[in-house]
Amino acid sequence: MVKLVLSLADVLRFSFTISPLGETVRLARALANSAEFAHGAHAAWLRERRAALERLAEQRDLRPLIAVLSARDYFPDFLMPTPEGDAGVIEDELEHVEATPADQVEQEIGKSLDLAAGVDAPVERKLRSPEAGVMLADLLRSLWDVVIAPSWPQLRDLLERDVLYRSRLLGRGGLASLFTDLEPLLTLREHVLFVDLPCDCTTVLGGQGLRFMPSAFIWPRAGATTEPKPATLVYPARGVASLFWDERGTEATLGKLIGTTRAEILELVAEPTHTSALARRLARSPGNVADHLKVLACGSAADAERLNAACGSSRSWGAGCRGHPECELLLGPRRPRQSFRFGRKRIHCTPRKSRAWCAEQ
């Protein structure tokens, strides 16, 4: 069990970050330990990309990467540097790996090889060479290009939704609420955060803060690094199963009632998100999604707070768009009145939308 001793200064410096390289390394570990990682999101993700992985294996010798990650409870720390900002850039992270001091690379790879079993002599020679760090970074880049890069927008959206969710928990219920659904992996007792890991150590954070990193591919585990400062805590992101849902898997009856797109939006805004993320998941423009969100809020078809958050707006859509012309789809024939003069009289009328207009929506 790892114990992280928190102070008020640490709590004031809590932050979140996302690492594309971290997700790549965790998938590479699943490749290197197929029996250990036979179930879960990492296994499902790799199964869906088996053909692409086989083509990559024909083009690149992945054995050094597999060997250095094959130990069950250890792998080189230099392969997963923590991003400095709220989200890492894959090339920046790989450059950080390539720039790792040679003595650190030699020491950490040596420890991995000591714990690994059955490493071929040619592979071991490559890993003990002075260019080992650059070679591993290049192999991770190739794995990223094939396994994660094509689907990174969806994966990034999932991780960002988790960050939004936990930020709201922190704001509403304080620090204690942040870890409630992560027990027993993470447990907060007074000012000590317990992380369920096989090693036993206690670290006083000393006011440097703590960085939280959601991951789609770490469940059913958690991870923690205390160097470099600030310490980083990796935990399982929520809603990982949504990565494998049918993109159009919407309940049919609701789709018939309000339209397929709006029914899909109602499903997706159950988790904190934003208009651009919805647009990517639905393959529509942000403007089109914002129009649908406005109509849904107008008809009270969804919680206004969730819709406002998705729209990225602080104003209430429900209060401001009762006259929106598309609202008839949810509210019935409530249309703006028009008027014109006929002699001395003013005639008022309410125009009707055509059936063709309704069908297009």
Which of 241, 271, 300 is a domain's end point? 241
- Tell me if 352 is assigned to some domain: no
Of the ranges 78-92, 112-126, 189-203, 310-324, which one carries the lowest mean pLDDT score? 310-324
Full domain range(s) for residue 110 = 20-151
* pLDDT given at position 318: 38
User: Is residue 348 predicted with pLDDT exceeding 60?
Assistant: no
Would you mind telling me the total number of residues written for the chain in this entry?
Answer: 361
User: Does one domain contain both 38 and 104?
Assistant: yes
Candidates 97, 99, 31, 24; CA nearest to 64 is: 31
The pLDDT of residue 285 is above 70: yes
Q: Which two tokens stand for residue 361?
A: 């929506």
Q: Are 73 and 118 part of one and the same domain?
A: yes
Residues 147 and 24 in one domain: yes
Whether 229 and 275 share a structural domain: no
| Same domain? 30 vs 56 | yes
The pLDDT score that the predictor gives to residue 2 is 86
Q: Which residue has the higher pLDDT, 196 or 252?
A: 196
In a domain, 339, yes or no: no
What's the pLDDT at 228?
77
Structure tokens at 234: 């990796």
Asked whether residue 331 carries a pLDDT value surpassing 70, the answer given is no
Residue 212 host element (H or E) = strand 210-215
* Domain end residue (candidates: 129, 151, 173): 151
pLDDT band with cut points at 50, 70 and 90 for residue 324: very low
> Measured over all CA atoms, what is the biggest interatomic distance in the chain, rounded to whole angstroms?
101
pTM above 0.95, yes or no: no
Residues 53, 99, single domain; the answer is: yes
- The string of pLDDT tens digits covering residues 79-106 is 998 888 888 999 999 999 999 999 999 9
- For position 299, what pLDDT does the model report? 52
Question: Is there a single domain that holds both residue 127 and residue 30?
Answer: yes
Has residue 347 been placed in a domain? no
Contact of 235 with 218, CB cutoff 8 Å: yes
Is 134:78 a contact under the CB 8 Å cutoff? no
Q: How much is the pLDDT for 20? A: 95
Judge whether residue 264 has pLDDT over 50. yes
Q: How far apart are CA 286 and CA 340, in angstroms?
A: 37
Based on the domain organization, do 110 and 194 belong to the same domain?
Answer: no
The reply to whether 137 and 189 lie within a common domain is no
Residue 151 vs residues 47, 62, 75: alpha-carbon distances, Å: 14, 21, 25
Q: 276 lies in a domain?
A: yes
* Residue at 284 is within a domain: yes
Q: What pLDDT does residue 82 have?
A: 87
CA nearest to 64, candidates 19, 15, 21, 128 = 128
Q: How far apart are CA 236 and CA 220, in angstroms?
A: 7
Q: Which two tokens stand for residue 275?
A: 């208009």
Residue 111 lies in a domain: yes
| Element housing 187 (H / E) | strand 186-189
Look at residues 199, 226, 241 and tell me which one is the last residue of a structural domain. Answer: 241
Q: What is the pLDDT of residues 106-133, one digit of tens each?
A: 999 999 998 888 889 999 999 999 999 9
Provide the H-helix boundaries in 179-320: 252-258, 260-268, 275-282, 286-298, 304-311, 317-320
Cβ atoms of residues 7 and 206 within 8 Å: yes
CA distance linking residue 35 with residue 223, whole number of Å: 20
pLDDT interval class at 346 (50, 70, 90): low
What's the total number of domains in the chain? 3
Q: What is the mean pLDDT of the chain?
A: 78
- The β-bridge relationship of strands 345-349 and 338-342 is antiparallel
DSSP state of 133: H
Query: With contact defined as beta carbons under 8 Å apart, do 231 and 224 qualify?
Result: yes
> Residue 341: inside a domain, yes or no?
no
**pLDDT of 270 over the 90 cut:** no
pLDDT at 183 over 90: no
Determine the average pLDDT of the residues in 143-167: 92
Are 235 and 262 in a shared domain?
Answer: no
Sign of CA dihedral 177, 178, 181, 187: negative
Pick from 279, 273, 268: which is nearest to 309 by CA?
273
pLDDT band for 340, please (50, 70, 90 cuts).
very low
Query: Are 185 and 142 contained in the same domain?
Result: no
Dist CA 284 CA 287 (whole Å): 8
Q: Is the peptide bond before 272 cis (omega within 30 degrees of 0)?
A: no
Mean pLDDT of 64-83: 89
* Residue 67 within a domain: yes
Same domain flag for 9 and 42:
no
